[in-house]
Structure 1
């Protein structure tokens, strides 16, 4: 069991990478044939991921050798600031979408990592803090993007009702309150569905990685459970915060487009 990971990675070769690229090429061909419009995004995303992961490998290797706690904090902050850029794109049309994303993700990451540090689930080392922090930030970023996108869509669909409530004297937050639950629930669907199906439909990445590295399956799934509960809590916190912050600004944008 403990030799599983070396055996697997010893068989990795350029031919394996070529095969994976071939699979991606078949997806691109299907998109081009059916005119789905995602082929360009597939190729660009794959190329970008290759470059980014290569750079990340060198950066993490350097970071882990420094043993400087403040560098870990700087690295996590930079990740949060970069995540805000994706939120700004998905939340186009909502004023301050970038800072709303940064603030909500930063809050969720701070609360979750602080609790995990105090509870002893992670340690103040790069090998422990950065991967867990990256998972929290990445999952929160995706959920906040969904939330901002859904919020904008709901306002577009219900604009007449919301403007009527404002005309009758309701405040912006009061008018938007009916949308909070709808947006938060829809944004949490992927996270909650993953939590429901884990272990029954799919084996998550952490479990698979630890088993491949030689860890006992029971210990691997125990760690996976902790991580998934942690991610669910942090995603819920980030989405709820983002919706509360964004709602009145999004409604202001809607009013401006009316005239």
Structure 2
């Protein structure tokens, strides 16, 4: 088992990457043939991911050699601030969507990393602190984007009911409370479904990567379980915080009553 990793990863070469990009080209061809309208976005996303991962590889190599906790925290802070930009796009129309995303992701990241540091599952080393923090931030960002998008949709669908509640004297937070549970539940569906199906329907990336690297399967799945539970908890924290912060500000149409 320990000899598997060199044999597998020795096959990676520039030509291998060209072949992988060919797979993306087939997806682009299908989009063009059926006029799905996602071909340009696929190519742009792939090009952007290639550049970003290349830069990330060099940056992490430098960061891991510094052994400075302050730099590790600063790196995660920058990632959170950048993640807020994606949340602002998905939450367009909701006031303060950027800062709602930043605060929600920060809460999830701080609470989750603090618990893992105290439990001894993560150490103040770049090799563990940054990758785990990055996973938390990335998953929290996606979940908050789903929550903000769903919140806008729910407000649009229930506009008459919410307007009636406001006309009867309810404030914004009281009117929006009826949407909290449905928005949170719908935003957590991908995360909860992944937790339910892990090991039965799909083999997650961490497990597959560790096995390919030559680690024993039982050790790999144990680490995967820790990560899945960690991500589920952090996503729940981020979504709940985002909904509590954003819901009162989502009633932008309430100004009609005052007019």
TM-score, normalised by the number of residues in structure 2? 0.98
Summarize deviations over 1:129-175 as a string: whole Å, max 9, x none.
00000000000000000000000010011111101100000111110
Query: Any runs of at least 4 consecutive aligned residues in structure 1 with deviations exceeding 3 A, and if so which?
Result: 256-259
5+ residue gaps, structure 2, are none
CA–CA distance in structure 1, aligned partners of residues 201 and 147 of structure 2? 26
The question of whether the paired residues in 2 share the 8 Å contact of 1:156 and 1:254 is answered with: no
TM-score, normalised by the number of residues in structure 1? 0.98
CA–CA distance in structure 1, aligned partners of residues 253 and 190 of structure 2? 28
Which moved further from structure 2: 14-23 or 239-248? 14-23
CA–CA distance in structure 2, aligned partners of residues 197 and 88 of structure 1? 31
Change (3 A) 1:182 1:43: same
User: What is the number of equivalent residue pairs in this alignment?
Assistant: 258
Q: Does 1:25 align with 2:25?
A: yes
CA–CA distance in structure 2, aligned partners of residues 26 and 149 of structure 1? 30
Q: Partner of 2:118 in structure 1?
A: 118
CA–CA distance in structure 2, aligned partners of residues 81 and 257 of structure 1? 34
Secondary structure in 1 matching 2:229: helix
Q: Partner of 1:15 in structure 2?
A: 15
User: C-alpha displacement at 1:110, in angstroms?
Assistant: 0.1
CA–CA distance in structure 2, aligned partners of residues 161 and 201 of structure 1? 41
RMSD (CA atoms): 1.0
Q: Partner of 1:165 in structure 2?
A: 165
CA–CA distance in structure 2, aligned partners of residues 254 and 19 of structure 1? 51
Q: Does 1:255 align with 2:257?
A: no
CA–CA distance in structure 1, aligned partners of residues 253 and 49 of structure 2? 35
Matches within 5 A, 1:211-222: 211-222=211-222
Q: Partner of 2:242 in structure 1?
A: 242
User: C-alpha displacement at 1:254, in angstroms?
Assistant: 2.5
5+ residue gaps, structure 1, are none
The question of whether the paired residues in 2 share the 8 Å contact of 1:109 and 1:137 is answered with: yes
User: C-alpha displacement at 1:14, in angstroms?
Assistant: 2.1
User: C-alpha displacement at 1:257, in angstroms?
Assistant: 7.0
